[in-house]
Structure 1
Amino acid sequence: MRVMAEDEATRIAEQHAQAVIKVIAPAQKPDPGGSGSAPCEGRGGEIAKDGRYYVQHIYQVPVSPDRQIATLERLRDHWRQAGYEIQRFRVFPDGKGGEVAARNAQDGYQISVETTDPPTAVSLAVYSPCLMPPGKVSG
């Protein structure tokens, strides 16, 4: 398991978020929805008690209703070219909304973008992999 201080993990999450914003809406000012850390969960839902954690960053990025699906497609294509693993891409049955999610294989961060209802923005979420803070021993 990678060892990393929380402030460094947060800085990397912010870099990923800003890179996505630059691709999908460089002229827009995103609304930060929040960020923070939480203990990692095991496969059975158990909470790590040894200090393992992940960080998340969430934003609402203004995107006009007529550009929602095209924005997801552009981001998916950009991630493919950058070598990210596309985990999900779908357009909802109404044809007006959808989502795309990818994982950066180099650092394990996951990024997802989903249209909002009403369709005035997209919700951007960045999650770090499970990390161990410095000075802790995984057990």
Structure 2
Amino acid sequence: MSRPATRIAALAIVVLTLTGCFGGDVETRTEDEAKALVRDRSAQLATQLGGVAFTEAKENPGPCTSGGNADVFAVQGSYQAPLPTAEQIPTLNRIRDAWKRDGWEITDDRVIEPNAGILRAKSSDGYTYHLTSARSTTELGVIIYSPCFESPTPR
């Protein structure tokens, strides 16, 4: 795994653990159903990114709460999108504008160095998206988190 991908994966595990669901009603889904929902959203984003083919694609279930109900989980999808360095900021800006038009909450939007930025947003149906670029790479890191789901069977 490349160094940026390793950093993104490590950050994703920490964020997934910390962004858990803290009470309230959650929809019932199997892990496979929840993975498919995240995969569908990644396919939609790949289209928005210009029809890219994601590499290092993974959908992993994990806990939604620390010390809470083991049967409540979320799915984290992590992907790498091939994207030339010079196109990363314009692409992030285009995606941000589309998400704003769709009524999404933009939670982070910044240029971190020339040709590199971070874009984070929450969709109206509770999915969280993190896009991160780096000047030294020709890939855009993508992480998609599902809302919390309750397993219909013990996990």
TM-score range, shorter chain: 0.7 to 0.9
The answer to whether the 8 A contact 1:40-1:52 is kept is yes
The answer to whether the 8 A contact 1:33-1:59 is kept is yes
| Aligned AA (1:125) | I
The answer to whether the 8 A contact 1:68-1:119 is kept is no
2:121 matched to 1:97? no
**1:73-88 paired onto structure 2 within 5 Å:** 73-88=93-108
- Return closer, same or farther for 1:118/1:33 CA change in 2, 3 Å cut-off: farther
State the shift of 1:60 in Å: 0.4
Structure 1 counterpart of 2:63: 39
Q: Distance in 2 between matches of 1:117 and 1:134?
A: 44
State the shift of 1:133 in Å: 1.0
* Residue identity (%): 27
Is there any run of 5+ residues in structure 2 with no aligned partner, and where? 1-25
3-state SS of the aligned residue for 2:144? strand
| Aligned AA (1:133) | S
More helix by share: 2
Q: State the Cα deviation string for residues 8-67 of structure 1 (Å, max 9, x = none).
A: 2111111111111111131x32203422101112xxxx3334311110111100110110
Structure 2 counterpart of 1:20: 45
RMSD over equivalenced CA pairs, Å: 1.6
Q: Normalising to structure 1: TM-score of the pair? A: 0.84
| Aligned AA (1:24) | L
Is there any run of 5+ residues in structure 1 with no aligned partner, and where? none
State the shift of 1:117 in Å: 5.2
| Aligned AA (1:16) | R
2:36 matched to 1:11? yes
The answer to whether the 8 A contact 1:36-1:57 is kept is yes
Q: Normalising to structure 2: TM-score of the pair? A: 0.76
